[in-house]
Amino acid sequence: MPAGAAAASTQLAGVAAVSSSDVWAVGSSGPAGQPATTLTEHWNGSTWSIVKSPDASNAATLGGDQLTAVVAVSAADIWAVGYIGTPGVSYSAQGAPQSTAVQTLTEHWNGTAWSVVDAPDVAARDGVEPWDVLTSIAAINTDDVWAVGVTEWPLTYSMGTFVAAQPLVEHWNGTFWAIVNVPSPEPEPPDWALAQSGTPPATGATIGSAALLGVAAGSANDVWLVGGYETDMGVQTDAPSPWETLTEHWNGTSWSAVPAPDATLPEPLSGGSSAADDLLTSASESSGGTLWAVGGAMPGSALTLQLGLAFGTSSFTGWHLVPSLAVTTVVNRAGHPASGSGASTFAPGTSPLAGVVTVSATDAWAVGAVILHWDGVSWQSTYTVNGEPFDYLTAVAGGPGGLWAVGGTSIVHATCA
């Protein structure tokens, strides 16, 4: 449990380890029923303590703020990212849709204190403010930091309310943050979809979405972004296409999209399709160059992709799928009022993996509703730690002191022999 934080109002989302006595966890916390505010916690080798972190100057106006990820360059150079505001669409008394504003949030630790650092947002279009959310961050050095996330456009025209996504990528050059253009398989939503009184074409034009949610940085000329895209949201067709994996690479000069495989469901869905909704949420590269990307093949399966040697061979073939278990989710946690007898039970669920850390070619860890370990041959699952269940884990990090994972109000630590 995070020190001094109420379980009902605390959500830890990111973790970074500098050493065995210097670990940071970030997220949000706030009184029940009130907007969340930033939360940063520090491990000094023996105890966790809350370290004061600022809130954005407009957080109270937009509906709070929260941190989603953290990365350590050094003990005196830590970055955390997230967003300001609460995504949502409300309606006026006259029935007109009204979208809330959501903006990027970046904070920096200089060894003494946290401070908010300005980061750009995507400009409004046709009077519509997008929701800019940063979900992941990776650092190469003090003047080479990448943050990724998503710009979401609320589509509030007469056909209903939808949200179309576009990748959001930002880079820190040691002086300022700047938005970086990257390839997107789907264009921005058209003007007629953004305008409240917009009229869609009679031809049934489609609207797609694309998101980049995870970033891994091996070096200045080796950065990977992972996520997914959907060619048709089903706004007019009522037949949304499945999400497909999306990976992109920076070679030091330019970004390029790199093909990645998608999963096939073991049994067709009710409509007869065997295509899963594939979305990658996190990536991690070891110092030896082994790269894993994880997420979900929905409904109900983990998605684990490795870049490098083809599974079971010595041939280099780019990205390839590696088998992993069907994900399970906790139905009743021990001690939770809904658990009745107090026993923990598990059932098949639709829960993707949310975080991964690659230690070496034969040692990687992925987290979500379960903890998975890659031993160089297969993924092995853990459902409890010392017999106790944990919240849904959203991030995992490795360092000299072992492994750390966080999510909800859970902090999990594993020492390595």
Strands 103-109 and 114-117: antiparallel
Name the residue ranges covered by the structural domains of the chain.
1-200+210-237+245-258, 278-390
Name the range with the highest mean pLDDT among 81-90, 232-241, 400-409: 400-409
Closest residue by Cα to residue 66 from 133, 19, 148: 133
Which pTM was predicted? 0.89
- pLDDT of 62 > 80? The answer is yes
- CA terminus-to-terminus distance, the chain: 25
Task: Tell me the average pLDDT of the chain.
Answer: 84
CA–CA distance from 144 to each of 131, 177, 220, 293 (Å)? Answer: 25, 10, 7, 21
- pLDDT of 85 higher than 90: yes
Domain 1-200+210-237+245-258 has CATH 2.120.10: yes
Query: What number is the average pLDDT over the span 52-71?
Result: 95
Confidence of residue 100 (pLDDT cuts 50, 70, 90): confident
Q: What is the pLDDT of residues 275-314, one digit of tens each?
A: 788 999 999 999 888 999 999 887 767 889 999 755 554 4
φ/ψ of residue 277, rounded to 5? -85, 105
List CB contacts of 123: < 8 A, sequence separation 6 or more: none
Q: Is residue 406 classed as helix, strand or coil in its secondary structure?
A: strand
pLDDT at 333: 33
